[in-house]
Chains A and B, each alone.
Chain A
Amino acid sequence: MNIKSIRKDWELIQKLIEKDRTVLDIGCGDGGLIKKLMKDNNSKAQGLEIDGNLVRDSISSGLIVVQGNAEKDLDQYNDESFDYVILSQTLQAMNKPKKVLEEMLRIGGKVIVSFPNFGHWNVRAQLLIKGRMPVTKNLPYSWYETPNIHFFTLKDFQEMCNSSNIFIEKSIGLASSGKQFEIENSLLANLYTHEAIFLLSKKKYEKIKIQDKQKIINPSRIRVV
């Protein structure tokens, strides 16, 4: 997963972040995205990375990076201490992806996640026709050596957000051709999205409680017999 070249999701991530913001990049690798954000977006960016060698690469170029594990070490960051928290291409490799996402939403005002879509037609076709776990450009590992332990589709992700009080501010799909498009909740998007990028924030209110209240006080709902 240590792709050193500039990845296509980076440019999209960059576009989602305004100038002069504070950013934490989780799983920052050798610090490529941090460097790009510092240079182009004037971000105050720092990172967390599990691989010591990559951490030392980053430190050696003057970046602020802490060696640590996204599943254990996010507790060192205070609530809302960054404008943006990024997790690029690693959610599927987490033991408890939802917990990590919740931690990210605690730390950051907004969260950006990108992940490979397991609902892509090529993936579905491989499973359906060949009857084998898919190996694609985006998911290049055999089942027995893949770091990706939680496979999920675009739809799965959207549903989790809806049921977990996570607000989807923006979602962008990247087709295997490199074409990008706004994701709408459709079958087509789930088939064609090779890689998805979501901009998320926490819903600030408890939706259900308000509805409950409305049920009681809304006079139109009281039937007069």
Chain B
Amino acid sequence: MKKEIIIKKNSTFPCDVAVFNNIQLKLESGYILNNFQINFKTYGKLNENKSNVVLICHALTADQFVADNHPITNKKGWWSHMVGPNKPIDTNKYFVICSNVLGGCMGSTGPKEINPETELPFGLEFPAITIKDMVDVQKKLIDSLNIRKLFAVIGASMGAMQVLQWAMDYPEKIENTIHIAGALKHSTQNIAFHEVGRQAIMSDPNWHNGNYLEKKTKPERGLSVARMIAHITYLSEEALQKKFGRKLQSRDLISFGFDADFQIESYLRYQGKSFVDRFDANSYLYMTRAMDYFDISDSFKKIMNFNLENNQHIHHCIISFTSDWLFPTSENKEIVKILNQSGKKVSFTEVETDKGHDSFLLDEPEFYRTISGFLGGNFKNT
């Protein structure tokens, strides 16, 4: 059985894929994956001395289609305001890589892909994935592209968790990090919300213990409820109030029934419905679990204090949003504190906005300015 890494164009989606054949990947759970593949997308050009690589780590339900149209929804990429020519992450300057995480559902090995051993979709046979596993695979991808150093690793939310993991596990590979709206551990409240979402999926009769693909069905109701709950946590009370208030949806009077009378109801239903077209329910279970399991509150401190030589050079930038109650400023500041206590180079700013956790996806000029300035300022210094 030949060990090989093949990098080629994906035949289903407009992106590239790295296929790892007979290459052992030991997951944090102990499970060993022998064959796996990672889908990824690149933007911009790699410069001559390969010093302009920016790795973007995506959040829970995002994917590698950062800046161009999404092949399934045909909508603009999730960070198309942020990444592109003359955008804050300027692809005239930087070579941007974003890969679909391990366990995801946009082509990378995950629960909806075929298990080579059974020739059926993995379903719940798929091993549990952690943030560390996602990063290990990204590192393998970077190595296979012959990139020795990353100018910056950037991520928000679950992406921010990956950024911290990169700084812990492969500090020698990175020069700068941008950590947006994250934490050293997933909080109790956040686990609670995830659990409600998972229960919604698993109690959908169409879920069939995770084997819905074989039954040629999908737990659409459950997944859409999970998305509706999660979506509330991404916003803020103030933003909801401002955007929807108690406004009624295409009617002048309440219906005395259970239709979507209020605009907020209709909005959430739409969010839920459009989500099921592009996301796999089992993958949602695995991704939320990976976030729940994330807790580096002890190890991060230890490693930052211990590995003095190979991580001293990194300039970290931590960004939080005032109205984010999922990953509040206080939790982001914990990271700043540890980095400062261990004598690292760290910058931190809290951006004022009422848009909640989702701010990182929205047009926030002060946030954009920080990202482009931090990258530009440090790129000049290299």
Contact = CB atoms under 8 A, between A and B. Distances in A.
A81 B336 CA distance: 15
A117 B154 CA distance: 47
19 contacts: A52-B351, A55-B347, A56-B370, A59-B317, A59-B374, A59-B377, A60-B369, A60-B373, A62-B373, A62-B376, A62-B378, A63-B347, A63-B377, A64-B315, A64-B347, A76-B336, A76-B337, A78-B341, A78-B343
Given A52-B352, A53-B366, A56-B370, A76 B341 contact: yes
B377 A61 contact: yes
B18 to A, nearest CB: 33
A52 B366 contact: yes
B381 A76 contact: no
B366 A60 contact: no
Contacts of A65: 347-348
Contacts of A59: 317, 347, 349, 370, 373-374, 377
A76 B333 CA distance: 10
A97 B370 CA distance: 31
A67 B348 contact: yes
A68 interface: yes
Interface of B: 315, 317, 333, 336-337, 340-341, 343, 345-352, 366, 369-370, 372-374, 376-378, 380-381
Contacts of A53: 366
Contacts of B376: 60, 62
Interface residues of A, number: 21
B82 to A, nearest CB: 16
A17 interface: no
Return the 7 tightest CB-CB contacts between A and B, nearest first.
A60-B373, A62-B377, A76-B337, A76-B340, A66-B348, A67-B349, A55-B349
B332 to A, nearest CB: 10
B345 A46 contact: yes
Interface in A58-104: 58-68, 75-78, 81
Given A52-B349, A62-B374, 12 more contacts: A56-B369, A56-B373, A59-B374, A62-B376, A62-B377, A64-B346, A65-B348, A66-B346, A67-B349, A76-B336, A76-B337, A78-B341
| Residue picked from A62, A64, A78, most chain B C-beta under 10 Å | A62
A77 B350 contact: no
Contact of A77 (B340, B351, B370): B340
A71 B373 CA distance: 28
A75 B333 CA distance: 12
Contacts of A66: 336, 340, 346-348
A62 B351 CA distance: 18
Nearest to A57: B373
Contacts of A60: 369-370, 372-374, 376-377
Given A76-B337, A78-B343, A56 B377 contact: no
A120 to B, nearest CB: 37
Contact of B343 (A58, A68, A81): A81
A81 B351 CA distance: 28
Contacts of B340: 66, 76-77
| Residue picked from B317, B341, B378, most chain A C-beta under 10 Å | B341
